Amino acid sequence: MKPRHFVTFLDLSGAEVRSLISRATELKHSKAIYEPLKNKVLGMIFEKSSTRTRVSFETGMIQFGGGAIFLSPRDTQLGRGEPVDDSARVLSRMVDAIMLRTISHRTVEIFAEHSRVPVINGLSDRFHPCQVLADMQTYFENRGDIAGKTVAWIGDGNNMCQTYIHAAQQLGFTLNIACPEGYEPELELIEEAATFVNLSRDPFAAAEGADLVVTDVWASMGQEEEQALRAKAFANYQVDSKLMAAAAPNALFMHCLPAHRGEEVSAEVMEGPQSVVWDEAENRLHAQKALLEFLLNPQT
Ligand code: CP
Ligand code: NVA
């Protein structure tokens, strides 16, 4: 039987996401020792840096009684040109699940196509579904179901923004995206989610009445040399107190982190009462534990 994967947010139905969120919250509050993945191993391939993703997956596996192996292309044969599909076939005969953070989304897809075990996208150039799962958990815990609510995405139409487009479709919220010209998400993704997504250039119009305001760095990993150019293009897209004032009075602020205070977000908003960024980071652990439990389906 083909394993279930989590390559994009669309790999889970809305009902499955809701059930994972409630399981994640349950796991978060449980003090009991629970080791459903005893002797199970998660292989983790990182082509890019990470703090949260690595630590949350590794901690989650240890707490579940299993373990995780950190693999970087620098010291595996992947970095010396061993084909991705061969690597997927070999690794998936040894480990019980594989998490990848890749430069190209296609690498995660190829892994999933050839793996015998569940493959999880830990960020690619196109999507970051684990982060948005944790974001949704954070929203549900603070405000209840997100269906029918309005989310404002301010800034780059990047991997996070594109995953929010998927989440809007699956969970039924409106996503107002404000981004500068030339930094839009892929058109096809917007078209597929057309009833849920609005695209504009005006951050204030996007934020108006929003229940959740979200942003991310102006230059993602791998775009470091574009930093100066992007800082110019995004100059009017900072989430500051003025912009938050346009949102609903009880709006939340989220950022996947790492954040650059004074660029995409002001220090005041980051540290302000509407910011839930630290809960959001913590929830990576709980949401991914629920995800691992679901994908690996241990018979306990
Ligand atoms: N938000 C997130 O994925 O953080 P890391 O890059 O530290 O894993
Ligand atoms: N958009 C960012 C997210 C980091 C977690 C990046 O890809 O670098």
Ligand 2: residues with CB < 6 A are: 123, 158-160, 216-217, 220-221, 256
SS3 111: helix
User: What span, in angstroms and rounded, lies between the C-alpha atoms of 206 and 153?
Assistant: 8
C-alpha to C-alpha distance for 269 and 52, rounded to whole angstroms: 21
Q: Is the CB of 257 under 6 A from ligand 1?
A: yes
Q: Which of 23, 52, 101, 255 is catalytic?
A: 101
Q: Please state whether 97 falls in left (phi above 0), alpha (psi between -120 and 50) or beta.
A: beta
Q: Above 80 in pLDDT, residue 299? A: no
CB–CB of 145/195 below 8 Å?
no
pLDDT of residue 300 exceeding 70: no
Question: Which residue in 251, 159, 256 sits closest to 213, CA to CA?
Answer: 251
What CATH number was assigned to the domain covering residues 9-128+283-296? 3.40.50.1370
| Annotated domain spans of the chain | 9-128+283-296, 132-280
Say whether 279 is catalytic.
no
CA of 246 to the centre of ligand 2 (A): 26
Percent of the chain with pLDDT over 90: 97
Helix axes 129-143, 14-29, angle to 10 degrees: 70
Distance 101 CA to ligand 2 centre (A): 11
SS3 of 51, please?
coil
Render pLDDT for 51-90 as a digit per residue (tens, 0 to 9): 999 999 999 999 999 999 999 988 899 999 999 999 999 9
Specify whether 54 is catalytic. no
Residue 128 designated active-site: yes
244 closest CA partner among 272, 280, 276: 272
Among residues 162, 284, 286, 288, which one is catalytic?
284
The per-residue pLDDT of the chain, averaged, comes to 97
pLDDT reported for residue 31:
93
> What separation in Å is there between the alpha carbon of 188 and the centre of ligand 2?
21
Given the CA of residue 48, which atom of ligand 2 is nearest to it? 8
Q: How many CB atoms lie within 10 A of CB 195?
A: 9
- Contact at 8 Å (CB) between 7 and 128? no
Q: What digits encode the pLDDT tens for the residues 198-225?
A: 999 999 999 999 999 999 999 999 999 9
Q: Is the CB of 50 under 6 A from ligand 1?
A: yes
Mark whether 131 is an active-site residue: yes
Kind and range of the H or E run holding 64: none
- To the nearest whole percent, how much of the chain has pLDDT over 70? 99
Q: How far is the CA of 102 from the centre of ligand 2 (A)?
A: 11
SS3 41: strand
Cα-trace Rg, the chain = 19
For the chain, the straight-line distance linking the first and the last C-alpha, in angstroms and rounded, comes to: 20
132-280: CATH topology is Rossmann fold (3.40.50)
Tell me the CA–centroid distance for residue 70 and ligand 1, in Å.
15
* Residue 297 pLDDT: 83
**Residue 61 φ/ψ, nearest 5 degrees:** -65, -40
Query: Which residue, 88, 87, 16, 45, is CA-closest to 293?
Result: 16
Catalytic-labelled residue, pool 130, 161, 179, 256 = 256
Name the least confident of 25-29, 76-80, 270-274: 76-80
Digit-coded pLDDT (tens) for 161-194: 999 999 999 999 999 999 999 999 999 999 999 9
